[in-house]
């Protein structure tokens, strides 16, 4: 949710500057507020249904990548990828790395960064619960406990056997991890 506040402040300052510089006094401030609200609404939905954007420490990222044991044939997904750090870190080591994000400010930031990063890294706007992960070899997630329960009920049964799911900080309650290190949990479907 912090990214939404920052985005709102930056976007608001930009709009106010444009209105002032070009003397657009006809532009109704209520319209600007409605547009800002609509831009942050998907991110608020994602924050409450799967988890807010909380960047992981670099050490935790290294642990997640190590436990994943990535190979050049792997297709990697990052559910709720935020700014795409894990997508960009895994892309050089895999066939393709795809991150889904529902927060518009984070999605736009990730897309912007992807221009300068690996050609195998893709940031996509979308709800993580409405995607198909049948081609996934590795799935990274940093989801709240209730979202991990939902993942276990909705996504886990549809995964191809052998898919490695790496969860940061939260376990799947009904499943024992195949490996665990520094609050990073590996599950093999």
Please state the domain count of the chain: 2
Per-residue pLDDT for 5 more than 80?
Answer: no
Q: How many Å apart are CA 134 and CA 121, to the nearest integer?
A: 18
Q: How many Å apart are CA 142 and CA 53, to the nearest integer?
A: 9
Report pLDDT digits (tens) over 15-69: 777 777 777 777 777 777 787 777 778 888 888 889 888 888 889 999 999 999 9
Report pLDDT digits (tens) over 146-178: 999 999 999 999 999 999 999 999 999 889 999
Same-domain status, 93 and 184: yes
CB atoms near residue 116 (< 10 Å) = 7
Same-domain status, 85 and 168: yes
Same-domain status, 39 and 101: no
Same-domain status, 70 and 144: yes
Q: How many Å apart are CA 62 and CA 127, to the nearest integer?
A: 26
Same-domain status, 36 and 67: no
Same-domain status, 75 and 101: yes
The CATH number given to whatever domain includes residue 137 is: 3.40.50.150
* DSSP 8-state assignment for residue 123: E
| Domain coverage including residue 68 | 58-188
Same-domain status, 39 and 96: no
Same-domain status, 65 and 102: yes
Buried b (16+ CB within 10 A) or exposed e, 34-61: eebeebbebbeebbebbbbbeebeeebb
Q: What angle do CA 146, 39, 10 make, to 5 degrees?
A: 110
Q: How many Å apart are CA 101 and CA 77, to the nearest integer?
A: 11
Q: How many Å apart are CA 155 and CA 146, to the nearest integer?
A: 14
| Closest listed residue to residue 156, CA positions, set 127, 180, 181, 129 | 129
């Amino acid at each position: 949710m912090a990214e939404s506040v920052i985005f709102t402040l930056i976007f608001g300052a930009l709009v106010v500057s444009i209105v002032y510089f070009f003397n657009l006094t006809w532009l109704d401030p209520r319209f600007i507020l409605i547009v800002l609200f609509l831009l942050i609404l998907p991110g608020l939905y994602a924050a409450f249904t799967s988890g807010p954007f909380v960047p992981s420490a670099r050490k935790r990222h290294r642990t997640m990548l190590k436990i994943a044991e990535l190979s050049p044939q792997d297709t990697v997904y990052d559910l709720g990828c935020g700014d795409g750090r894990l997508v960009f870190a895994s892309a050089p080591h895999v066939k393709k790395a795809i991150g889904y994000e529902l927060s518009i400010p984070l999605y736009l930031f990730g897309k912007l960064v992807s221009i300068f990063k690996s050609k195998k890294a893709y940031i996509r706007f979308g709800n993580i619960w409405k995607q198909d992960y049948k081609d996934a070899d590795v799935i990274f997630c940093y989801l709240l406990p209730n979202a991990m329960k939902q993942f276990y009920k909705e996504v886990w049964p549809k995964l191809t056997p052998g898919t490695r799911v790496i969860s940061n900080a939260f376990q799947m309650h009904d499943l024992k991890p195949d490996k665990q290190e520094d609050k990073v949990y590996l599950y093999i479907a």
